[in-house]
Each structure stands twice: as structure tokens, then as C-alpha cells.
Amino acid sequence: MSHILLVGYMVAAMIALLSASTVHAQAERAATTGIVFGISLGVSRVTLSELPNVSRTTGTDVALGWQVGYRMSSKLSLVLNGASSVYRYAGPGRARKRGFESIVPMIEYQVDHGLRLSAGAGLQLDAPVFYSMRVSDPAERRYWRVVGAVVGVSYALPSLLNGASRSAQRYTPEVQGRWNVGRTNTPEGRLAGQSYAFLLGVRRQPLIPRQP
């Protein structure tokens, strides 16, 4: 009888340990998965190919970015990324600004606690910039779309909210580098271009436990 009780105690102890480890693993996974989103602002360098009625365009102006998605694990996230690099249009009509833009699904890989790499391909746009557009002119409201790709690298800065609550630490300032390349069909021909951008942003994401 005593042997049966001893075996019972051992089995019960093993079940308790396994249950505790399972709960801990589920809690850790829940803490590192969830919704991510962010915004960023910076500067970009845009280069567009020469067309019959459009001279080669090279210039530096404002860069914008946004992203929203889901972190699937402590290493991988799937996000929808929007990127816009403003440039001065050199084609027919009055001088104005347009945007070399993309909306692409991206895979992100968390290399370590601060460094993150990302890449994706999707919709490439050449679109009007709202603050430089004459709404009454149909030609200035037009936008063109084909396919483009984006590669990015981000590094999370030390949070200014380290002394605040755990939820506040989910908002992390970061620096970002971005390369966008694509082709767009326009009335003047197929426009090929690329942009390099440096941005500062804020990102909300589930916390990644630091390794001891």
C-alpha cells in the first residue's frame, strides 16, 4: 500500500510540474504575441528614371511610414506596411510634389531585443501629395500603380518610459532605415525609381522577455 501511495505522490508531483511549466509557457507566449502598429517620420532620397517628357528626378524631401500587423512569435511578425517618399514632379504641368509610395505585406524578423529586419513586396504607387495638389485639376489628382518592394531595418531605442508601468513600456521609440524600389506606369511611360529613407518612429508591440 505504501508503494502505491509513493507512486501516486510521484505521479501527482510530475503532473503538477508539467502543468506549471505549461501554464508558464502559455503565459510567456501570450506576452510575446499580439497586435503591433507604428508610425514614423523622416527624410528620403528619391531617384526616378528619365522619360520622354520627364527629366530624371533626384531629390531629398519628407518620408512617412506606418505599419499594422500581428506578432506571431518572439521572432516573427506579419505586418501591412505603408511607405511614402515625397519628391518634386518634373513632368508636364506646373511644378508640384508627388509621392513615391508603397503598400506591401512584410515579414519581420527580430534578430535580438533591439534589431529587426523586414522585407516584402506589393502595391507601388505614384500619387499626388494632398498639400501640393490642385483638387480642381483632374490631371493632378491622378495616381499610377504597379508593383514594388521594400526592405527595412529598425533598431529600438532605450525606452523613456522604463520607470513607468509595464503597459507603457510597450511603446518603443526606434530608428528606421528603408529602401523602396518599384516601377509605375504613367502617361509618359514606365517610370522606374527607388528611394532611401531614414526615419524616427514609435512602435507599439507585445513585450519581448529579455534573456538573462
Rounded CA gap, 165 and 74, in Å? 21
What pLDDT score does 88 carry? 87
In a domain, 210, yes or no: no
Predicted pLDDT of residue 52: 63
Does any domain span residue 24?
yes
Predicted pLDDT at 77: 95
Give the CATH number for residue 189.
2.40.160.20
* pLDDT value for 168: 41
Q: What angle do CA 40, 31, 164 make, to 5 degrees?
A: 65
Residues 140 and 62 both lie in one domain? yes
| Residue with the three cell numbers 499626388 | 128
Domain co-membership, 9 together with 57 = no
User: Which residues span the domain enclosing 15?
Assistant: 1-32
Same domain for 23 and 78, yes or no, is no
3 shares a domain with 50: no
Q: How many CB atoms lie within 10 A of CB 46?
A: 23
In a domain, 114, yes or no: yes
Half-sphere exposure of 45 (CA within 13 A, CB side): 4
Same domain flag for 155 and 191: yes
H or E, element range at 5: helix 2-32
d(CA 117, CA 210): 18
Are 182 and 87 members of one domain? yes
Q: Are residues 57 and 89 in the same domain?
A: yes
Q: Does 211 fall in a domain?
A: no
Q: Is residue 47 part of a domain?
A: yes
Task: Quote the CA–CA distance of 157 and 17 in Å, as a whole number.
Answer: 38
Is-contact 88 59, C-beta < 8 A? yes
Same domain, 126 and 51: yes
**Distance (Å, whole) CA 30 – CA 39:** 24
Asked if 120 contacts 105 with a C-beta cutoff of 8 angstroms, the reply is: yes
The label of the residue with cell 528620403 reads: 44
| pTM confidence score | 0.74
Domain contains 137:
yes
Looking at the fold, whether 94 and 12 belong to one and the same domain comes out as no
pLDDT tens track of the chain, all 212 residues? 434 434 344 444 554 554 544 444 444 454 578 899 999 999 999 988 866 666 777 888 999 999 999 999 889 999 999 999 999 887 777 888 889 999 999 999 999 878 999 999 999 988 888 888 887 788 778 888 888 999 999 999 876 544 444 444 578 899 999 999 998 777 777 778 899 999 999 998 876 555 54
- Residue 123 belongs to some domain of the structure: yes
* Predicted pLDDT at 24: 43
Do residues 8 and 38 share a domain?
A: no
The maximal CA–CA distance of the chain, rounded, in angstroms, is 97
Same domain, 85 and 183: yes
- Total domains present in the chain: 2
pLDDT value of position 208: 56
Q: Are residues 87 and 1 in the same domain?
A: no
Answer whether residue 209 is part of any domain. Answer: no
